[in-house]
């Protein structure tokens, strides 16, 4: 069974210092361990202990609303910091039990980004784009998550999502990524 920490989002949603905004169906908080300069979690309200693999077609409107809330916050942040780009998505196998969507800037410049698992959870197919999740729900009524496959993805080599170069360790990957000018799609 998962440790108590995997339920921590239920407490974080109540913390006024963490909470950025909320409405009737979502709350957006700052990630306690951000993996980029901007890293937020848009969470479903009330607390829903399930991951993306347990979503159903009926949840499509909720996921669309979560994405819309993230995009609205991104626009406000971009008005203050032009040029910052965001990605919106879900981890295929979330480490936290509460349904949440990540809103993360693509700089991946953070001391909390410490290991290969962190890197691969945001820069590979393990990070399921929110728009793709919505399409899967509309077309298939669910999101197919092959747990073994995605566990293997987290173990893949450290690869730049822009130019696909491989680096042997995270410090070298971060150094490369800061200066990579390739315009390859992030994911």
Q: Which residues are catalytic?
A: 100
Distance CA 34, CA 175 (A): 18
Q: Which H, E and C letters describe 77-129, residue by residue?
A: HHHHCCCCCEEEEEECCCCCCECEEEEEECCCCCCCCCCHHHHHHHHCCCEEE
* Three-state DSSP state, 5: helix
Token pair belonging to 5: 């920490």
Distance CA 101, CA 64 (A): 11
- Residue 102, Cβ density class (10 Å: 0-12 exposed, 13-18 middle, ≥19 buried): buried
């Amino acid at each position: 069974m998962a440790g108590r920490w995997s339920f921590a989002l239920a407490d974080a949603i109540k913390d006024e210092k963490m909470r950025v905004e909320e409405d009737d169906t979502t709350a957006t908080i700052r990630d306690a361990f951000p993996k980029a300069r901007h890293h937020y979690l848009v969470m479903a309200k009330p607390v829903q202990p399930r991951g993306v693999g347990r979503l159903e077609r009926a949840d499509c409107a909720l996921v669309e609303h979560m994405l819309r809330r993230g995009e609205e916050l991104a626009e406000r942040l971009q008005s203050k910091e032009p040029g910052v780009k965001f990605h919106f998505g879900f981890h295929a196998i979330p480490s936290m039990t509460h349904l949440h969507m990540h809103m993360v800037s693509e700089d991946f410049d953070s001391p909390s980004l410490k290991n290969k698992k962190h890197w691969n959870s945001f820069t590979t197919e393990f990070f399921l784009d929110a728009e793709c999740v919505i399409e899967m729900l509309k077309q298939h009524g669910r999101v197919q998550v092959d747990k073994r496959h995605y566990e293997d993805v987290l173990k893949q080599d450290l690869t730049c999502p822009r130019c696909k170069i491989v680096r042997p360790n995270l410090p070298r990957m971060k150094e490369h990524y800061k200066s990579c000018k390739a315009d390859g799609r992030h994911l």
